[in-house]
Structure 1
């Protein structure tokens, strides 16, 4: 007789309260009635390596140089660069992924890199965002000069208004007024135009209230990047009930094309004709696992699925010091690419304008014939995956966002490569390469949720093996021991997995008050785990 069979044969009257005894007397605890438990998930699934060939031509040498000098995964620099270059294009030019419909995608992206502490995520991202920060600095200097001219014009406006107002008063004096004086004075007053303060052109921001971000977006309809070093802290903050407005604004900004209006007492009405927000940041494995698990359980509103440039590469065990100057030619070409795209002329690259799309219409390109065939074939395969009944719902939801992601990436690669006219097959193949790469990393992120639960489940099984937990134990009983890794909600997550994989069975006990639950241990599970 095995140890578990012996446990099954015990008289539990001496071990458990009366309400458990009644339930267990009805339970068949012999191994013959139990199935063999399923193996628990082990480790993280492998992810594809990034092929530098999918990086835009004018950025590739610069990005590989950064990754090499920092001895960091090229995935980090690639993800940051694609979001950054997409934020520069924003709504300046869009893509229509079909030959005749008005389905339109603009170039903002949301992304995040996942890595352990000390993996040089932040320094690498800081280096990649250098071109954006330079554009931001130049724009700030130009705005300061424009503000000086505006302040002078505003003072002149006040003086002219005072003089013209004095003329109106004089014309209204019946003792001194002559015929026609009033009309002439009114004309002079009406001819004075109040100067308009110059809009502050922005490219990147890190910490702004939603109202302030709305004002920035109003002045920058082409779009801007919101960069947060620890991105999921911002996402967790947006999940709070009192931040519902901010959350809604960010969700609007993800599509990059929708209007948003703030109505506030004191601030009045701020109408943002088009909210285009790119988002990028970093996080750690434990934080992304916790956030995804809670997001899917408590909200599941698609927020996490909007992080489409989500990469979690393996970190090399050996760090190699590289002490050399940056590749100046590659850096010059990359900064030139950013400069060219922020000032891109839509007409010059052959973009069309839909006459029926209204005053905020975005110029657009379509695929050329070969690229269109590639994308259409990809779309057929994608829709089959999304509709697969065996596909987990969260993965189907994430993949469904690839409908718009791949055209966006194709357009970004096309323009960053210096292309004009219809988006070509070369850029489209690069985007399709991104699709395979990103799908693998996305699956690792969702698998990590189960992997974390499996780690807790194994800790619970070890306690069973040691005899610390007896047949018919409760979650509360397990938690009160405060064993390492077995506290709070982690216990519930591990127990749920053990039940799902048939290592345990749960039984609800009616006590006359609030029902309680106990867990039966599969004898076969103990034999496999022992």
Structure 2
């Protein structure tokens, strides 16, 4: 029985006379996320810039690092693959990563995105100039061809493909057009909520099917009413963006149900979250040299893989292959664990593919162009294990609600403010970050169950704070 139930069961006791003992709120807290493992995973060309940038903007290092890795995976595109199992040669994974930063408003999502993608925007600018020159040459050749007599003409010149690396239009039709002309592509959006809403529409089943194929690299045919269909033999699509917890919560709930939302689309995302760091006035500048070195690293990798005569398929060396089989066995046992939910088993089902993709990108960044070393595989496994608590946190919050506002309000109550309140006052004033009436109701219900607040017997809309909350151990930030 909760403290509130106990008080209600004793009608002769008035809330203004006797207050129940508040229950501790430790059970509502979340285990802190581990810091991104510095010096252990990223090459210094990426990590040094990520550290400086994160320190300057006071944002989580892990979010910046994963955005960088996503950008690196995109420059590889469809020019390199990995065959993780020597005894299963038909299994190949591309470099494509889908990274979603799950963060609240005003957490510097756009600056993070811009910093990670700046080298790709510079590549894209060069491609636009190349496309312009190629189109001019084509038009001149076409004019010359048209000026010849019909019997003397050779084959009609073909319009050159438009080389691209980035796309901000994430519709199926737009991406299909670009993927038919390019080996790989990165689609990015500051806010992924719009894309998620499209995926949830009942009439958009073909949209989900396209993205599922684009992640796995399976052949896909995109039909259009006006311009016919586009066949893509092996699409390689990278996704990068951010989403606020609310819209993502709906996606998670759908993924946990049986139906179209349980097709594993969500589990393909690498989820990364985190809170902004405490703001300080004196912050070191981001050295320009670090930004240039980061950009040159990604540009160099882009030029390298496109200079290869054909796409390459990398494999693990003997020591790495032995480690892979041990990791595979550990993962398969985890998938079969009876205590795991269906959705989490689906997430673990993507673990091996994600590990292989991360190993491919990390290996290429360190100059491994034929065989991936055991050190590279260890880095990939460590990164997967670092990421999984992020996914668990995001999913748990989606199911039970974010406990952050509850704990924030509890700290304010222990500090003596406010002494009483209504739900309207909480969300109208944004107390403890509470933004809606529904969230205010959920937060207050949690505190009432723990005996921290009780309804005011004189005003049914008002809540009074238990003065004994100061006797409870301080709620930690």
The bucket for the TM-score relative to the shorter chain is 0.7 to 0.9
Is the contact made by 2:58 and 2:276 (CA closer than 8 Å) also made in structure 1? Answer: no
Shift of 1:452: 0.7
Decide whether the 8 Å contact of 1:44 with 1:451 is kept in 2. Answer: no
Does structure 1 residue 316 correspond to structure 2 residue 281? no
* Distance in 2 of aligned mates of 1:2 and 1:235: 44
Deviates more, 1:271-280 or 1:40-49: 40-49
Alignment equivalent of 2:321, drawn from 372, 375, 381 = 372
Q: Where do residues 294-333 of structure 1 align in structure 2 (5 Å cutoff)?
A: 294-297=254-257, 299-308=261-270, 310-322=271-283, 324=285, 326-328=287-289, 330-333=290-293
Which position in structure 2 is the counterpart of 1:13? Answer: none
Give the match's secondary structure for 2:174: helix
3-state secondary structure, aligned to 2:230? strand
Cα displacement (A) at 1:73 = 1.4
Distance 1:212 1:374, change over 3 A: same
Shift, 1:104, TM fit: 0.8
User: Counterpart in 2 of 1:431?
Assistant: 380
- After superposition, give the CA deviation of every residue in 1:404-461 in whole Å (9 maximum; x if it has no partner): 0101111111101122321012211210110111111111111112331879999xxx
Deviation at 1:107, TM superposition (A): 0.5
Equivalent position of 2:233 in the other structure:
273
2:78–2:236: 8 Å Cα contact kept in structure 1? Answer: yes
Counterpart check, 1:227 vs 2:175: no
**Equivalent pair of 1:232/1:291 in contact (CA under 8 Å):** no
**How many residue pairs align between the two structures?**
404
SS of the equivalent of 1:343 reads helix
1:367-388 Cα distance to aligned partner (Å, 9 max, x none): 1112112222222211111110
CA shift, 1:486, in A, is 6.6
Give ranges in structure 1 of 5+ residues lacking alignment: 8-38, 165-184, 354-361, 459-483, 499-530
Q: Which residue of 2 aligns with 1:239?
A: 200
Residues 456-467 of structure 1: matches in 2 within 5 Å? none
Structure 1 residues 126 and 389, CA gap change in structure 2 (3 angstroms): same
Which runs of 4 or more aligned residues in structure 1 lie more than 4 Å from their structure 2 counterparts after TM superposition? 1-7, 345-348, 453-458, 484-488
Correspondence for 2:16: none
Shift of 1:132: 0.6
2:35 to 37, 49, 52: 49
TM-score (norm 1): 0.69
Which residue is 1:93 aligned to?
80
Give the secondary structure class of the aligned counterpart of 1:47. Answer: coil
Q: Distance in 2 between matches of 1:346 and 1:325?
A: 31
1:61 aligns with 48
Larger radius of gyration: 1
Q: 2:359 is matched with which residue?
A: 410
* 8 Å CA contact retained: 1:54, 1:430: yes
1:191-235 per-position Cα deviation (integer Å, ceiling 9, x unaligned): x12111111111111125321211101001x21111011113311
Is the CA contact 2:138–2:158 (under 8 Å) kept in the aligned structure 1?
A: yes
Give the equivalent residue in structure 2 for 1:203. 165
* Alignment correspondent of 1:391: 340
SS of corresponding position for 2:401: helix
Give me the whole-angstrom Cα distance separating, in 1, the residues matched to 2:6 and 2:76. Answer: 68
- Tell me which moved more, 330-339 or 81-90: 330-339
The DSSP-based 3-state class of the residue aligned with 1:281 is strand
Q: Aligned equivalents of 1:455 and 1:82: distance in 2? A: 29
Give the secondary-structure state (helix, strand or coil) at the position aligned to 1:116.
coil
CA–CA distance in structure 2, aligned partners of residues 6 and 225 of structure 1: 63
Is the Cα contact below 8 Å between 1:71 and 1:321 reproduced in 2?
no
Take 1:2 and 1:423, find their aligned partners in 2: how far apart are those partners?
62
Residues 454 and 54 of structure 1: CA distance in aligned 2, closer, same or farther (over 3 Å): closer
* 119-128 or 240-249, which deviates more: 240-249
Asked whether the 8 Å contact 1:48–1:441 carries over to 2, the reply is no
